[in-house]
Amino acid sequence: MNKRTIKDIDVYDKAVLVRVDFNVPVIDGKITDDNRIVEAMATINYLLEKGAKVILMSHLGRPDGKVDKKYSLKVVSERLQELLPNNKVIMAKDVIGKDAKSKAEKLKMGQVLLIENLRFDAREEENDKEFCKELASLGEVYINDAFGTAHRKHASTYGVAKLLPNAIGFLIEKELNMICGTIEDPKRPFVGILGGAKVKDKIGIIESLLDTVDTLIIGGGMAYTFLHVLGYKIGNSLFDSTNVDVAKKLMKKAEEKGVQFLLPVDFVETPEFDDVVNYRYTKDANISDGYEGVDIGKKTIKLFSKAIKRAKTVIWNGPVGVFEKKEFAVGTYAIAKKLTKVKGTTIIGGGDSASAVINMGLANKMTHISTGGGASLKLFEGKVLPGVDVIDNI
């Protein structure tokens, strides 16, 4: 990698503006999963050790450009203080207002300032020039360590980087090394597993994975559009009518490239999406009229497991069923379990598949669990992340 990293930049006694991803789940005012905060600690601790004044910025949820207390980062600052018992953590009451500015000016070496939720100001997502300037005025050096938003061209992830000496932090460096390092030179067999709801969202990644993988496994709501093309009955299952031709083209490409394209051969079907009482297993890949497919069946679990067992590299993005309901999470959990047995590299794209693995307590059995769903998908697709691209080369 040729990007300047945090170790290549002088931070001693400097006000270092760090974009982190503190977009953590908060329920009833409590953080239910602090993984993203913990993942940012390597960069924060390093900066503090090197004598920097650390100014952190992040978004939380979707406050739609307006101040909304529900999305305040105050709760994050409290957790941060627990993780940094020897350093003072200060919370600003605004983003680029009077309070943030005066607290940034007064900040001392070894102290941490967290400014308020960036998305309290609509100009953040617009990458507004004035807003970028104001943000940049808070610090002297800029570090991007927010992998989860590195695929966005926002003020804090993109615009501000152009105005200050810049570098990527340890988390982004780790994510790039793990994901790009693996897909650029995979040990074979290389298996890709894709699930989730819509074909539309995954066309790019299917297309590019077909150039590199040996086997592509398709599960989740996406599978039915492909099965429809092959003449199966799909009942009321998710169907992407606008992408039928794309699905055909992708299967043709798999054939031409000699990629094994694995679709489910049986399902769990239910009359209504959220009916967890009247569900049943199908005999084959056909879904009954009046039913919809919500999980892969037992034969499919066996089929997918066989391919995974042989693999030396596996990347996975998207659940293979409606895993939010425990009755329909069997397939997704079976895949996660199987991945722990792989004698090779296992990379879990962020988002739902990462949650499934973490909820099962299998996180430490995977090679890497990405902290960014959208960003890891872009990397799987072979795309450049704007938040990384904007950082100067060494």
Binding residues for ligand AMP, rule: CB under 6 A, are 195-198, 201, 220-221, 238, 293-294, 318-319, 321-324, 351-352
Distance CA 145, CA 142 (A): 10
Instruction: Count the helices and strands in the chain (H runs, E runs).
Output: 13, 17
Q: 212-244 burial, b if ≥16 CB within 10 A, otherwise e? A: bbbbbbbbbbbbbbbbbbeebbbbbbbbbeebe
Residue 337 CB contacts under 8 Å (≥ 6 apart), including other chains: 360, 362
Residues 316, 319, 321, 323, CA torsion sign:
positive
Q: 337-368 burial, b if ≥16 CB within 10 A, otherwise e? A: bbbeebebbbbbbbbbbbbbbbeeebeeebeb
Nearest residue to the partner ligand AMP, using Cβ: 196
Which CB sits closer to ligand AMP, 232 or 323?
323
Helical packing angle, 170-184 and 35-49, nearest 10° = 120
Q: Shortest approach of ligand AMP to residue 314 CB, angstroms?
A: 17
Q: Shortest approach of ligand AMP to residue 330 CB, angstroms?
A: 12
Which CB sits closer to ligand AMP, 77 or 346?
346
Q: Shortest approach of ligand AMP to residue 116 CB, angstroms?
A: 28
- Per the CB < 8 A criterion, the answer to whether 143 and 157 are in contact is no
Which CB sits closer to ligand AMP, 139 or 331?
331
Active site residues: 36, 198, 351, 374
Instruction: State the residue for tokens 């997502």.
Output: 125
What are the Cα distances from residue 214, in Å, to 67, 82, 146, 315, 345?
49, 46, 32, 12, 15
DSSP line for 109-146: TT-EEE---GGGSTTTTTT-HHHHHHHHTT-SEEEE--
Phi, psi at 273, each rounded to 5°: -45, -45
Q: Shortest approach of ligand AMP to residue 208 CB, angstroms?
A: 17
| 3-state helix, strand and coil shares in percent for the chain, rounded to the nearest 5 | 40, 15, 40
Which two structure tokens, joined as six digits, stand for 97? 């207002």
Which CB sits closer to ligand AMP, 90 or 197?
197
Distance CA 5, CA 393 (A): 9
Q: Is 220 left (phi over 0), alpha (psi -120 to 50) or beta?
A: left
Which CB sits closer to ligand AMP, 147 or 279?
279
Which CB sits closer to ligand AMP, 294 or 385?
294
Which CB sits closer to ligand AMP, 133 or 198?
198
DSSP state of 214: S
Which CB sits closer to ligand AMP, 186 or 373?
373
Distance CA 244, CA 258 (A): 21
